[in-house]
Each structure stands twice: as structure tokens, then as C-alpha cells.
Structure 1
Amino acid sequence: MIKDIYNMADEKMDKTILNLKNDFASLKAGRATPSMLDRIQVECYGSMMPINQLANVSVPEPRVLLIQPWDKNSIKDIEKSILKSDLGINPSNDGNVIRLVIPELTEETRKELVKVIKKTAEEAKISIRSIRKDCNNKIKNLKKEDDISEDDIKVAENEIQKKTDKFIKEIDNLVDKKESEVMSV
């Protein structure tokens, strides 16, 4: 029973870290990465689709994204979705491909980006702590059902705390890495 709680904690905390990594990857950090477009949905063929399902996205230069739609008719839809997004980049369209030139980051933009990184990381930490709380509640419920001793509860709570500390440390490491990447671009 406790093993199930440990596994659930690991699984949920891993998902939180994965979501944080995805959020960090989609941030505009002065370098072009295809993952910057992951959150942009394009209305095409009667439904909403991610850009990577409509086009090949490549990085021919460090600050340029090249989007080559498989169907040339969808180029206007892709361009419109990029303009509507929070990316803040004007696409240039030559009829065959869309080019996105990522602007150099100013010092002020870098500082704002670091604030966003820290805010996103704090939300991930809150999520990790919430998972810890849920797990500890499940452990305490086992005691109420008399399925577990007081000592086993303490051991289980300590184990959940160790997992929490490990994942919080991983979040801090990801923040440090992303922050240094943003400040050194």
C-alpha cells in the first residue's frame, strides 16, 4: 500500500518536472528552438493543430526559425496563429516558407524573462508540495484504517519528504541552468 503511494508521488512529481522543462523550452531566450512553437495552435482543416503537425520546423541559423508547411495553402493560417500568439515575433512569409527572426534580448527583457522563469519554477514547487501533502494524507488514512503502525507512518512521511526535497532541488537546478542560459545569450 505504501509502495503505491511512493510510486504515485514519483510519477506525479516526474510529470511536474517534465511540464516545467516544456515550459522552459518554450520560453523565448534569444536562441531559436522549434519548441518555442509548441504551444501555438493553428486553425486548419476545421480543427486546431500544433504547427509541427502542419509543417517542418528547422533552425538554419541560431536566431532563425524556418517553417516549411507541407500544404502551401496552410501558410496563411500558420502565419495568423503566430501573429495572435504571445511569441511577439513578426513572421516573414515568402509564399513557400515562414521565417521567424528571434530578436536579441535586451538587459531589461532578460530580467523580465528571469522573473517569468522563477515564477514558473515556484508554481512547480507548489505543485510538488501539494503532491507531498496528498501523499501524507493518504498515509494518515492508512493509519485510520489500522493498516499501518505509527513508526511506519513516520518512515513513510520521511520518505515522501526526501522525494519532495529531491524534486525541489531538481527544480532549483533547472532554474539556475535556464537563468544562466538567458543571461549569457
Structure 2
Amino acid sequence: MVGAYEHLHAGVEHHPRGHEALRILFRAGGAAAGLAKGQALELLPCEGNEALSRYHHAKTGVLFEAAAALGALSAHADPGPWLAIGRELGLFYQHLDDLADVLGDPARLGKDVGKDARHGRPSRADLVPPGSGPRLVAETAMERLTPQIQRVREAVPVGAEALRRYLESLLQEATARMLPLPGA
């Protein structure tokens, strides 16, 4: 994050929207709404869906927002709609990652599982009933992920139907790869 900020800062005067790009990147890493806030929230009790969404947004969503908005800026587009797409993609990713941390196969994921519980991190996996069989786990995971996929679809601006279809396909593929969902 610091390297990206330094790189942008070095060329800010040479790009007409350079200052705007710096603001977006600074916000993503900052204490008020960004990564620093997410790290701080990780140390506090996180109860309820809204608190968990705020934590996930600060921990991950801001990075997706920044990536989408900076891409829009570099294409000379309005970053506003792309912030919303990035936010929803970040929340989807974090939700899927939380579920995969409990339900996933380490060999398939390429990383250890169970780290959130070991480190006491807030997680959406808490919403999966303990001792659930594979069928209930699959149903619970899809109940949680399907509305998030819909929110990503809704964030895509009118007229970008190809992007909407692509993102929906990408999210469904990511879900299938990361989670063992028998019968889903």
C-alpha cells in the first residue's frame, strides 16, 4: 500500500486526476475507513451482521473499492459507480473467504484453514450451525452468498450487461472452487 502511494505521489502532477487517485488510495489505507480501521476492529468484539459488514468493509472492501475506482480513473471514467462495485465485490470475497476458512479443503485452497477461529477474528462462518452435515453447510453457504452475488449485480451500472454477466459467472465459479458444496 505504501509503495503504491509513493508511486502515485511521484507522478501526481503529471496526471489530471492524480490527486483524486491519491485520495482514493489514502482512504483505502487510512485509519478512518481503511485497512488500519479493519485491523483495529479485528481486536474488538464484533457482534451482529452490521458490525461484521463494517469490519469486512474496512478489512477488505476498501481495497476492492480502491482497485475498481483507480481502474475507472485510469480509463477516464467516473469512479463513483465503481466504488459501489468494488465494495460489493470485497464483501463477497470476504464472506466467501470466511466460509472457506471453515469449510474449505486446504489442498484446494492452497492455504491453511481454521485461522480465523485460531486468531479469534470476526467471521461470517459463525453463521454456519456447529456440527452441520455437508448438505446443511452447502445450503447455509449458498443462503449467505446468493444475496451478496445479487448485490454485486445491482451495483453494476445500467447498460453494462456484459460486465454484469461476467461478474456473476466469476463469483459463481469462485464459490464452486473455494467451497465444497455437495448437491449445490
TM bin (shorter chain): 0.3 to 0.5
> Higher strand fraction: Structure 1 or Structure 2?
1
Structure 1 length normalisation: TM-score? Answer: 0.38
The structure with the larger Rg is: 1
Structure 2 length normalisation: TM-score? Answer: 0.38
Q: Which structure is higher in RCO with an 8 Å CA cutoff and minimum separation 6? A: 1
> Higher helix fraction: Structure 1 or Structure 2?
2
